[in-house]
């Protein structure tokens, strides 16, 4: 054990720091219309650095962020994802699911998979690279993804949490080993100039519905 000395001190009073952070987060939207405006690799690295600060079970850091910029690989991912999504919309989804998705206006076409400058494919590691056990896998990788999205938002970058299902094709296309299981596909870039987003999807239930103080 070592003394905890490197403590973060907000540069402004906490109320102000929290209001600023909340204002950034509440304006995040899941974007499905991306511009092809480039994003430097260094920024993507910085996002992964932020995600990589996440706590994880026994500090095993059971994640891999595969950052795709190669247009040919993006095209293969899009083809495979659209094939899965066609199956999803035509057969796999039940009526309730399709009804719930209707306000989002989504369909099987995923042009953002080739337009966005980066596709960050997050894998969960079912074992460590050394074959060791990992713990609280979904919690750990979910936390890392949340930090990634927040960091992107702070940098003014648009993201989408995309989960074509099933996602096994991502491991095949990206040549990942068997102990890496696809978790989330995050396109990163800038929203297209004329990007539209679903009207209701940014609404949040009242705080009293989601917060209980005892
Ligand atoms: N994966 C599909 C369907 C989809 C499912 C949920 I739950 C969403 O919140 C959004 C979409 C698609 O991307 O179209």
Q: What is the mean pLDDT of each run of 10 residues along the chain (214 residues)?
A: 98 98 97 98 99 98 98 98 97 97 95 98 97 98 99 98 94 98 98 94 92 98
Among 2, 33, 29, smallest CA distance to 200 is for 29
Instruction: Give the end-to-end CA distance of the chain in Å, rounded to a whole number.
Output: 34
Question: What separation in Å is there between the alpha carbon of 130 and the centre of ligand 1?
Answer: 34
Question: What separation in Å is there between the alpha carbon of 98 and the centre of ligand 1?
Answer: 9
Say what the pLDDT of residue 165 is. 86
Say what the pLDDT of residue 201 is. 80
**Beta carbon of 85 within 6 Å of any ligand 1 atom:** yes
**Beta carbon of 163 within 6 Å of any ligand 1 atom:** yes
Is 54 within 8 Å of 138 (Cβ atoms)?
A: no
Instruction: Tell me, letter by letter, the H, E, C secondary structure of the chain.
Output: CCCCCCCCCCCCCHHHHHHHHHHHHHCCCECCCECCCCCCHHHHHHHHHHHCCCCCHHHCCCEEEEEECCHHHHHHHHHHHHHHHHHHHHHHCCHHHHHHHHHHCCCCCCCHHHHCCEEEEEEEECCCCCCCCCCCHHHHHHHHHHHHHHHHHHCCCEECCECCCCCHHHHHHCCCCCCEEEEEEEEEECECCCCCCCCHHHCCCCHHHHCCCC
Is the C-alpha dihedral spanning 146, 55, 210, 23 positive or negative? Answer: negative
**Beta carbon of 98 within 6 Å of any ligand 1 atom:** no
**Beta carbon of 201 within 6 Å of any ligand 1 atom:** no
> pTM for the complete prediction?
0.97
Say what the pLDDT of residue 89 is. 96
Say what the pLDDT of residue 150 is. 98
Q: How distant, in Å, are the alpha carbons of 12, 27, 52, 75 from that of 110?
A: 42, 23, 28, 11
Alpha-carbon gap, residue 190 to 169, rounded angstroms: 26
């Amino acid at each position: 054990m070592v003394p905890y000395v490197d403590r973060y001190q907000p540069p402004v009073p906490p109320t102000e720091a929290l209001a600023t952070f909340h204002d950034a987060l509440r304006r995040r939207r899941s974007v499905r219309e991306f511009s092809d405006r480039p994003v430097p690799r260094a920024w993507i690295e910085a996002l992964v650095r932020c995600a990589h600060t996440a706590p994880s079970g026994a500090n095993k850091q059971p994640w891999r962020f595969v950052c795709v910029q190669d247009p040919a690989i993006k095209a293969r991912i899009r083809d495979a994802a659209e094939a899965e999504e066609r199956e999803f919309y035509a057969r796999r989804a039940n009526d309730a699911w399709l009804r719930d998705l209707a306000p989002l206006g989504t369909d099987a076409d995923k042009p953002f998979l080739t337009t966005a400058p980066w596709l960050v494919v997050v894998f969960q590691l079912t074992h460590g690279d050394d074959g060791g056990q990992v713990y609280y896998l979904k919690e750990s990788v979910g936390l890392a993804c949340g930090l990634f999205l927040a960091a992107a938002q702070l940098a003014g970058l648009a993201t989408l949490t995309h989960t074509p299902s099933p996602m096994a094709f991502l491991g095949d296309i990206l040549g990942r080993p068997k102990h890496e299981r696809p978790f989330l596909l995050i396109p990163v870039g800038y929203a297209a100039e004329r990007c539209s987003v679903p009207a209701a999807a940014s609404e949040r239930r009242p705080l009293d519905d989601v917060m209980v103080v005892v």
